[in-house]
Amino acid sequence: GEACNPLSFWVLNLVFLFIYTLEAALRLYVMRRSFFQHPMNILDLIVVILGFVEIFLADILELPNVKIVRLFRVARITRIVRLVRLLKYFPTLYVLVRGFTRAMEAMM
């Protein structure tokens, strides 16, 4: 297989950050004040803000080994926790994700 390209990961990070930012902005626009009444919305907003802080610290200030940058990356895992919580309401989606995960494990 191909070697992992750091530039690819950087671009993917920006793409996902843009998508999450758009999602949070649209929810904030639609929900207005009620947006802040849902803890998951606040968590998503914090993760998006931390994504921008990470880009600022790691890319603009060129501080790649700062421990707080690593902490921001760990904070993004909370989005995965949210997805897992949603899967219990959609059994078919759970089976699909589980099959995909197992296939990825088999390839590695």
How confident is the model over 1-51, as pLDDT tens digits? 455 666 777 788 788 889 889 988 999 999 999 999 988 888 888 888 888
pTM of the model: 0.57
How confident is the model over 40-99, as pLDDT tens digits? 888 888 888 888 887 777 777 776 565 666 666 666 666 666 666 677 777 887 788 778
Predicted local confidence at residue 25, as pLDDT: 93
- Cβ pair 19, 51 in contact under 8 A: no
d(CA 103, CA 108) in angstroms, rounded, equals 9
What helix, strand, coil percent values describe the chain, rounded to 5? 85, 0, 15
